[in-house]
C-alpha cells in the first residue's frame, strides 16, 4: 500500500475528527468523574486496573470513530457508588458482582434497543423533563466540584484563576493549565510520587478478568442491587439527555436514541470480557469535553488511546498516579463542566405548567436523576390531563 492509499484509508477511518490542541485539551474534560470511580473500584473492590482502563479505552476510541463528536464514556454512577460504598462497609459486593451487573445491563439495553422501547420512551419524554434533568445534572456537577475544591481551597482558587482566562483560548487551552497545576501540586503534596515516577519500568500488562469467579450469588446481587437501580438513571441521563445535548451542539452529526442504546449494550456486554466495569454515556461528560475545547470525535479517541497505552505498559502504577492527582483540581474541572451543562439546559418555558415540571425535575435531579425522570413524567402527565394545576 503506497502513501496515497494510506492517507485515503486514514481519512475514511477518522473522517472529520481533529487532533489539534483543543481536542487534546477537551479529551481530559471528563477526568472529574473517571478518576474517582476508577480509583474506588481498584482500592475498595480490589479490581484489576488494567482491565478497567482497557474497557474505557476501547469504548472511547470506538465512540469517537463512530460518532465523530466528543461523545463521552463514563462509569455508571449508581452502580459504582453502590458497589464501592458497600465494599467500604465490608458488605456483599465483589468484582464478580460488578461483572455480572455489566452483563445484565448490556442485555437489558440490547432488549430495549432492539424492541424500540428505548426510542419510544425517549420520544415520549417532554422537553421540560429533559431540560430539568440537564439543569439538575449541571448544578449537581457544580456542587460536587465545589465540595472537591474545598479539599484544598487555595489550590482550587489558583487553578480556577489560571483557567478562567484561558477557557476560550486556542493557543493555550485551559485544560493544559489545569493539568500542569495539578501535576506540580501532586508532586509537592505527595513527596514519594517523584520516586515512584523515576522507578517506573514500562512493560506489557494484560487484563485478568477472572470471569470464572462469577457465582449465582454474584449474578443475583449484580442484577438486583446494581444493574436494576441504575436503569432509570441511565435512561434519563445516558440516553435522553446526552442525545439531546449532542444534537443541540452538533446538529450536523446527530445521533439516534436507538444507536445510543445499542452502544450502551455493546459496551457493557464487552467490558466484563476484559475485566471492565459497567459504562454509559452522559450529558455531563459531553459538557466537560466541549467546555475545554473538543468539537469532534478526536477527543474521545485521544483519551481512549492514552488509557489503552497507560494500562498496557504501566499497569497498576496508573491508579497510584490517578489517586495522587489533587481533588481540588478535579473539582475545578467538574465545576466548569457543570456550568457548561447547566447553561445548555436553555429556557425552562414561558407557561407555568412546563416551567413547574422543569423546576421540580431539576430539584429532584440534584438528588437522584432516575427519580427525577420518573417524577417529571408523572407530573407532566397529571398537569396535561388537568388533574393538578401548578
141-157 tens-digit pLDDT: 999 999 999 989 999 99
pLDDT at 195: 85
Q: Does residue 12 surpass a pLDDT of 60?
A: yes
Within a domain: residue 202? yes
Within a domain: residue 180? no
Segment 56-84 mean pLDDT: 92
Residue range(s) defining the domain that contains residue 305: 9-139+191-326+335-384
Q: Does residue 88 surpass a pLDDT of 80?
A: no
pLDDT at 44: 85
158-199 tens-digit pLDDT: 999 999 999 888 888 999 999 999 999 999 988 888 888 878
Q: Does residue 4 surpass a pLDDT of 70?
A: no
For residue 156 the three cell numbers come to: 482550587
Please state the domain count of the chain.
1
SS (H, E, C) the chain: CCHHHHHHHHHHHHCCCCCCHHHHHHHCCCHHHHHHHHHHHHHHHCCCHHHHHHHHHHHHHHHHHHHCCCCCCEECHHHHHHHHHHHHCCCCCCHHHHHHHHHHHHHHHHHHHHCCHHHHHHHHCCHHHHHHHHHHHHHHHHHHHHHHHHHHHHHHHHHHHHHHHHCCCCCCCHHHHHHHHHHHHHHHHCCCHHHHHHCCCCCCCCCCCCHHHCCHHHHHHHHHHHHHHHHHHHHHHHHHHHHHHHHHHCCCCCCCHHHHHHHHHHHHHHHHHHCCCCEECCHHHHHHHHHCCCCCCHHHHHHHHHHHHHHHHHCCHHHHHHHHCCHHHHHHHHHHHHHHHHHCCCCCCCCHHHHHHHHHHHHHHCCCHHHHHHHHHHHHHHHHCCCCCC
| Residue 2 to residue 148: CA distance in whole angstroms | 52
Question: Is the whole-model pTM more than 0.75?
Answer: yes
Of the candidates 386, 303, 382, 336, the one whose C-alpha atom is nearest the C-alpha of residue 129 is 382
105-155 tens-digit pLDDT: 999 999 999 999 999 988 888 888 888 999 999 999 999 999 999 989 999
| Residue 202 to residue 222: CA distance in whole angstroms | 35
Segment 333-337 mean pLDDT: 94
pLDDT at 124: 86
Calculate what percentage of the chain has a pLDDT beyond 70. 93
pLDDT at 84: 77
pLDDT at 89: 54
pLDDT at 200: 78
pLDDT at 349: 65
How would residue 307 be classed by pLDDT, with cut points 50, 70 and 90? very high
Average confidence score pLDDT of the chain: 89
For residue 204 the three cell numbers come to: 506489557
Segment 6-11 mean pLDDT: 61
Within a domain: residue 33? yes
Segment 343-368 mean pLDDT: 84
Amino acid at each position: 500500500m503506497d502513501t496515497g492509499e494510506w492517507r485515503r484509508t486514514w481519512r475514511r477511518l477518522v473522517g472529520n475528527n481533529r487532533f489539534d490542541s483543543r481536542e487534546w485539551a477537551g479529551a481530559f474534560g471528563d477526568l472529574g468523574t473517571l478518576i474517582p470511580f476508577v480509583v474506588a473500584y481498584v482500592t475498595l473492590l480490589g479490581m484489576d486496573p488494567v482491565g478497567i482502563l482497557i474497557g474505557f479505552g476501547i469504548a472511547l476510541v470506538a465512540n469517537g470513530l463512530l460518532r465523530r463528536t466528543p461523545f463521552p464514556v463514563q462509569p455508571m454512577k449508581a452502580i459504582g457508588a453502590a458497589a464501592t460504598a458497600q465494599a467500604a462497609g465490608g458488605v456483599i459486593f465483589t468484582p464478580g458482582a460488578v461483572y455480572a451487573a455489566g452483563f445484565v445491563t448490556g442485555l437489558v439495553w440490547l432488549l430495549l434497543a432492539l424492541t424500540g422501547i428505548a426510542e419510544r420512551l425517549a420520544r415520549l419524554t417532554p422537553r421540560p423533563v429533559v431540560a430539568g434533568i440537564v439543569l439538575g445534572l449541571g448544578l449537581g456537577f457544580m456542587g460536587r466540584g465545589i465540595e472537591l475544591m474545598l479539599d484544598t481551597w487555595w489550590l482550587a482558587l489558583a487553578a480556577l484563576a489560571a483557567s478562567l482566562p484561558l477557557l476560550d483560548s486556542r493557543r493555550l487551552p485551559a485544560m493544559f493549565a489545569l493539568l500542569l497545576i495539578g501535576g506540580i501540586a501532586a508532586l509537592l503534596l505527595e513527596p514519594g510520587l517523584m520516586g515512584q515516577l523515576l522507578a517506573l519500568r514500562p512493560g506489557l500488562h494484560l487484563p485478568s478478568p477472572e470471569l470464572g469467579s462469577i457465582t449465582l450469588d454474584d449474578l443475583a446481587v449484580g442484577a438486583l442491587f446494581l444493574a436494576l437501580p441504575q436503569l432509570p438513571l441511565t435512561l434519563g441521563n445516558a440516553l435522553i439527555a446526552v442525545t439531546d445535548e449532542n444534537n443541540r451542539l452538533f446538529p450536523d452529526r446527530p445521533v439516534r436514541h436507538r444507536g445510543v442504546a445499542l452502544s450502551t449494550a455493546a459496551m457493557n456486554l464487552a467490558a466484563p470480557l476484559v475485566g471492565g466495569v459497567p459504562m454509559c454515556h452522559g450529558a455531563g461528560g459531553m459538557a466537560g469535553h466541549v467546555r475545554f475545547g473538543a468539537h469532534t470525535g478526536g477527543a474521545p479517541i485521544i483519551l481512549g488511546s492514552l488509557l489503552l497505552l497507560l494500562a498496557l505498559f504501566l499497569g497498576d502504577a496508573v491508579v497510584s498516579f490517578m489517586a495522587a492527582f489533587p481533588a481540588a483540581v478535579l473539582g475545578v474541572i467538574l465545576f466548569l463542566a457543570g456550568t457548561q451543562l447547566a447553561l445548555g439546559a436553555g429556557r425552562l418555558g414561558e407557561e407555568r405548567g412546563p416551567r413547574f415540571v422543569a423546576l421540580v425535575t431539576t430539584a429532584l435531579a440534584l438528588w437522584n436523576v432516575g427519580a427525577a425522570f420518573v417524577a417529571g413524567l408523572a407530573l407532566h402527565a397529571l398537569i396535561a390531563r388537568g388533574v393538578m394545576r401548578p
